[in-house]
Chain A
Amino acid sequence: MSNNMNGTNKGKRLSRRKFIVRGGLGSIGLLALGSCVFINPLRRSAYGISESLVLPYSGKGTEANLWFEFTTENTLIFHSPKVEMGQGIFTGYAQIIADELDIHIDQIIVQAAATNTGILDRFTTGGSLSIAQLYKPLREMAAMMRQMILNEAANKLNIGKNALILRNGMIEYTGGALSYAKALEGVKDWKLPKKFDLKSNSEFKHIGKPIARVDLEDKIVGAPIFGTDAEMENMLHATILRPEHIGSKMREVNYSEAEKMPGVVRVVEGDGWLGIVAETFSEALAARRKVNVSWDIPKIWTEKDLRAYLKVGEGKRMVTQKEGSALEKEDEACISMEFSSPIGAHAQMEPNGAVAKVENGKAIIIMSTQSIGATQKSVAKALGFKTKDVNVVAKYLGGGFGRRLDTSHAVEVALMAREVGRPIKYSFTRKEEFQNDMFRPPTHHIVKGKMAPNGRLSHLEHHYASGDVAINSLLMPPAMSKMLGTDVGAMRGANVMYGNIKNRRAVQWHKTLPFATSFWRSLGLLANTFAIESFIDEMALNHQIDPIQLRLDSLAEDETQTRIKKVIQLAAEKSQYQNELQGNRAMGFAASIDVGAPCAHVAEVSLINNVLKVEKVTCVFDCGLAVNPDQVKAQCEGSIIMGISAAMHEKMGIKDGRLYPINYGTYDMALMKHSPKEIDVHLIQGVDDPLPVGEPPLGPIAAAIGNAIRRLTGKRLTDLPMKLA
């Protein structure tokens, strides 16, 4: 195991990180230690960043964006710049801190940082990066704080540092013990140690262990931890009326009847929306039914229109991969297949919303958001306030999946709160949620390939059309989109990963759709992998080649390619992959690599009474160092089930010019009965540092299922969701 920070302080490595020390952030703090996590984006090529979407986690480089606070209660508060939306990162952070700080995990409180506790994270919580990005900075912070505590204790006790043992938040010495809090008490003049030690991987007691989630108890007793649970004194409730037709605008609105409804306090006219503010949420909803609106609808969109608008050959063309030569148009040996995926809804369980208070030139916004910093800025701009006068307090998120990277509705709540002069809680209705999602864009794919006489693929081309994923999102600065020209989100998983296929092409066709599309867990990966891995499977079947062998033969020899091979081999072995039909069951195989983390799935699908069911999934995933293997497995299970839902159930459509459906049930999703009874996850540690976890396992699932269905029915299903006619 290589660890270049083994045991000793690699001073040069750490010097780029600035540490800042204060007496405490609040009244309870004894010591606050801040750090600037700053990676100069110019150090990496813009294309390199975009390909992996591993965007630099950065503030301005001068202000601390990570804060530890040690309290008189002998607890450590980590003000996390990343939010917890189910990924289990708060638990991972606690494990990392516990190991480097020699503190008991129960003595650590991880909470989402409010904007006024120093957080300035431009790049939000997303991309499965929360653990991977902060792994080293957090270890260094914790090790630094440990050193400070040790130094203070040695001073106070007048004992040599070597005679002190730090354990469970206590400093043990011959004849006694001192708590960390006691050691820090009364210190006025803080000194940053020049040297501190990091633990070696073999010394980890928490990292790498399946420790129970730190938020587990709260989540099973129904503790009020979510954005929608927040309350403020004297608070009112609001609902918002928005356009329902794609591209439509409010023309005339009459709310005189609504204003007279019980409990209604005010109707607020916004820019393109109407807010109904009442004493209770149900009164606001009841009043909303009494509003009469007429709409300007420039065009009644249909699904046919959309399909004609978004397809390979239309829109902005960008070559995202070019190796060797392209296929000739007239090549008769070339095989071509077409695939598609529909509009996808996030359908996260907690509706969007926020509680806002605007008073004396200051605003407080409490909400569930993946974009704390951006929300703060947009609210400040809308109110004409300085950024620092807006405090965004992020709570636990009832699901994110990319939906809460845009939380522009915080502006609307803030404007209503200012106009009414009382705090307001606003919540989306479920219909509003489904019609105003930042959808996963539909996609269209043409995959072409050619088999060489030696039974290996000589050519593989992936042409893919997508709506916006990263382009026009706040995660991708316009300048970067322009520079790259490519939608780097739609590109996830689009390039052919098989290095031994000498002639590879990936061509993107991008268009901005008439409704908002953006990040949906794993971005383009799910649909792109579906197209490519279904195609490869079909090639193997056509040429009667073992699909595992065809994949292995298609991979080259370098380190990453070898990691992909290992994942494929282990998945075949653990699943005891069978290429032939087994009664009413069949197996399907697929693999992908996303943000450096390869994953392979074997789906075992049954066909009974014309009903398809995924009975078992074997998953092999190389995520590097798994800080919490149990939670990595949970992410794999979740990705598999969400992937089954997307592959076999979900589809947003357009009905009478509106995005439809508008509720669970009508929006068909995987339920308990659709979930596999067996999910067998095997983790490989192909590198020593943690890699992104939350999205890569979504990659191969749709293709794995499709490949099983092909063997079960003889039919190649090429459109998601896959349904038997």
Chain B
Amino acid sequence: MKHTIIGFAILALILTMSQAVQSSNNIGQNKARNKEEVEVIISDKPFDKMMAVLLHKRCVNCHPDGDIPLQGEDSHLHHFDIERGPNDHGLAGYTCETCHSTENNIFSGVPGAPHWALAPRSMAWEGKSRVEIAQQMMDPARNGGRSPKEIEKHLTEHELVLWAWDPGVDAEGIEREKPPVSKEDFIEAVKQWIADGAIIPDK
């Protein structure tokens, strides 16, 4: 299938992983996995717009390919090796709610939103291409049995998803980066894409 670019397109390379592989010179000892680059295409196409958001670290950090959430602008492994636990809400000694409340905390810089939790293992996005993510997202076997309409609702109404546009400040008081597409444009793009039959391009 021919890939037509409508209007202008921006090709962006987003690092979903930290640049720095663990080394003794790595200040702060942020633990990270291997560097991987995922291609993000920003264009006027609804699918491109939607995926530019879903590939952003505000989303991917909680869709890790493992049992430890990712954290921060460099998507390092969550400090203290916090684990997802049996229900994606943490372990017995601590849950996500031990530190994360239902809103961002300006004193601690700990982010928060209702239902703060990890996406299930089957919904891991980390390191996957946008096509793979889309296929996985629409596959009832891997998306918790959701219909396209339910997916649309999750992406456009769920408070945890929409938190990406209100990510607050970090522990140093620095504002977290927001996705490259506005919330309104994202919601419109998702609705349009699903209305158009949720067609996943080849690449």
In-complex A–B contact (CB below 8 Å): yes
- A residues contacting B by CB (< 8 A) are 282, 285-286, 289, 303, 431, 649, 651, 653-655, 660-668, 671, 673, 719, 721, 723, 725
Q: Are A671 and B80 in contact (CB under 8 A)?
A: yes
**Chain A residues near B80 (CB, 8 Å)?**
665, 671
Residues A663 and B107 in contact in the complex (CB < 8 Å), given A651-B27, A653-B28, A655-B27:
no
Name 14 interchain pairs, CB-CB below 8 A, sorted by A.
A289-B106, A431-B172, A655-B28, A660-B27, A660-B28, A662-B171, A662-B172, A665-B79, A666-B30, A666-B79, A719-B24, A721-B24, A723-B23, A723-B24
7 closest residue pairs by CB, A with B: A665-B79, A653-B27, A668-B29, A666-B28, A661-B28, A723-B24, A655-B27
Measured CB to CB, the nearest residue on chain B to A665 is B79
* Interchain CB contact (< 8 A) of A725 among B23, B171, B172: B23
Cα distance A33–B22 when bound, in Å? 60
Measured CB to CB, the nearest residue on chain A to B78 is A665
The answer, yes or no, to whether B66 is at the interface (CB within 8 Å) is no
Cα distance A725–B20 when bound, in Å? 12
**Chain A residues near B29 (CB, 8 Å)?**
649, 651, 666-668, 721
Cα distance A725–B27 when bound, in Å? 15
Which B44-85 residues have C-beta < 8 A from chain A? 79-81
Residues A282 and B107 in contact in the complex (CB < 8 Å), given A289-B173, A662-B172, A725-B23:
yes
**Chain B 1-40: CB-based contact to A (< 8 A → 1; otherwise 0):** 0000000000000000000001111011110000000000
Q: Are B107 and A285 in contact (CB under 8 A)?
A: yes
In the assembled complex, how far is the CB of residue A449 from the closest CB belonging to chain B, in whole angstroms?
Answer: 25
Instruction: List 7 extra interface pairs beyond A663-B171, A673-B81, CB under 8 A.
Output: A655-B27, A665-B80, A668-B28, A671-B80, A719-B24, A721-B29, A725-B23
Cα distance A392–B88 when bound, in Å? 51
- B residues contacting A by CB (< 8 A) are 22-25, 27-30, 79-81, 106-107, 171-173
**Chain B residues near A289 (CB, 8 Å)?**
106, 173
In the assembled complex, how far is the CB of residue A664 from the closest CB belonging to chain B, in whole angstroms?
Answer: 8
Cα distance A199–B28 when bound, in Å? 54
Cα distance A7–B94 when bound, in Å? 58
Cα distance A651–B29 when bound, in Å? 8
Cα distance A723–B29 when bound, in Å? 10
Cα distance A662–B174 when bound, in Å? 13
Q: Are B107 and A667 in contact (CB under 8 A)?
A: no
**Chain B residues near A649 (CB, 8 Å)?**
29
Cα distance A725–B80 when bound, in Å? 20
**Chain B residues near A723 (CB, 8 Å)?**
22-24
Cα distance A289–B80 when bound, in Å? 28
**Chain A residues near B22 (CB, 8 Å)?**
723, 725
Cα distance A282–B108 when bound, in Å? 11
**Chain A residues near B173 (CB, 8 Å)?**
289
Measured CB to CB, the nearest residue on chain B to A722 is B24
**Chain A residues near B171 (CB, 8 Å)?**
662-663
In the assembled complex, how far is the CB of residue B195 from the closest CB belonging to chain A, in whole angstroms?
Answer: 44
Interface centre among A655, A668, A721, by most chain B C-beta atoms within 10 angstroms, is: A668
**Chain A residues near B24 (CB, 8 Å)?**
651, 719, 721, 723
Measured CB to CB, the nearest residue on chain A to B71 is A665
Q: Are B27 and A661 in contact (CB under 8 A)?
A: yes
Cα distance A661–B26 when bound, in Å? 11
Interface centre among B22, B24, B81, B107, by most chain A C-beta atoms within 10 angstroms, is: B24
Measured CB to CB, the nearest residue on chain A to B169 is A289
**Chain B residues near A661 (CB, 8 Å)?**
27-28
In the assembled complex, how far is the CB of residue A254 from the closest CB belonging to chain B, in whole angstroms?
Answer: 17
Cα distance A282–B105 when bound, in Å? 12
Q: Are A667 and B172 in contact (CB under 8 A)?
A: no
Cα distance A649–B80 when bound, in Å? 12
**Chain B residues near A667 (CB, 8 Å)?**
28-29
Measured CB to CB, the nearest residue on chain A to B82 is A665
Cα distance A481–B21 when bound, in Å? 43
Interface centre among B28, B30, B106, B173, by most chain A C-beta atoms within 10 angstroms, is: B28
Cα distance A660–B173 when bound, in Å? 15
Cα distance A281–B92 when bound, in Å? 32
Cα distance A662–B80 when bound, in Å? 15
**Chain B residues near A654 (CB, 8 Å)?**
27
Measured CB to CB, the nearest residue on chain B to A671 is B80
In the assembled complex, how far is the CB of residue A111 from the closest CB belonging to chain B, in whole angstroms?
Answer: 34
Interface centre among B29, B106, B171, B172, by most chain A C-beta atoms within 10 angstroms, is: B29
Measured CB to CB, the nearest residue on chain A to B79 is A665
Cα distance A665–B28 when bound, in Å? 8
In the assembled complex, how far is the CB of residue B28 from the closest CB belonging to chain A, in whole angstroms?
Answer: 4
Measured CB to CB, the nearest residue on chain A to B31 is A668
In the assembled complex, how far is the CB of residue B39 from the closest CB belonging to chain A, in whole angstroms?
Answer: 29
Cα distance A661–B170 when bound, in Å? 13
Measured CB to CB, the nearest residue on chain B to A651 is B29
Cα distance A466–B38 when bound, in Å? 44
Measured CB to CB, the nearest residue on chain B to A304 is B25
In the assembled complex, how far is the CB of residue B20 from the closest CB belonging to chain A, in whole angstroms?
Answer: 12
**Chain B residues near A651 (CB, 8 Å)?**
24, 27, 29
Cα distance A653–B79 when bound, in Å? 17
**Chain B residues near A666 (CB, 8 Å)?**
28-30, 79
Cα distance A482–B92 when bound, in Å? 58
In the assembled complex, how far is the CB of residue A177 from the closest CB belonging to chain B, in whole angstroms?
Answer: 52
Interface centre among A649, A653, A721, by most chain B C-beta atoms within 10 angstroms, is: A653
**Chain B residues near A653 (CB, 8 Å)?**
25, 27-28
In the assembled complex, how far is the CB of residue B81 from the closest CB belonging to chain A, in whole angstroms?
Answer: 8
In the assembled complex, how far is the CB of residue B78 from the closest CB belonging to chain A, in whole angstroms?
Answer: 9
Cα distance A662–B109 when bound, in Å? 13
In the assembled complex, how far is the CB of residue A723 from the closest CB belonging to chain B, in whole angstroms?
Answer: 5
In the assembled complex, how far is the CB of residue A533 from the closest CB belonging to chain B, in whole angstroms?
Answer: 20
Cα distance A342–B114 when bound, in Å? 41
In the assembled complex, how far is the CB of residue A721 from the closest CB belonging to chain B, in whole angstroms?
Answer: 7
Measured CB to CB, the nearest residue on chain B to A717 is B24
**Chain A residues near B28 (CB, 8 Å)?**
653, 655, 660-661, 666-668
**Chain A residues near B106 (CB, 8 Å)?**
286, 289
Cα distance A653–B30 when bound, in Å? 12
**Chain B residues near A725 (CB, 8 Å)?**
22-23
Cα distance A667–B29 when bound, in Å? 7
**Chain A residues near B25 (CB, 8 Å)?**
303, 653
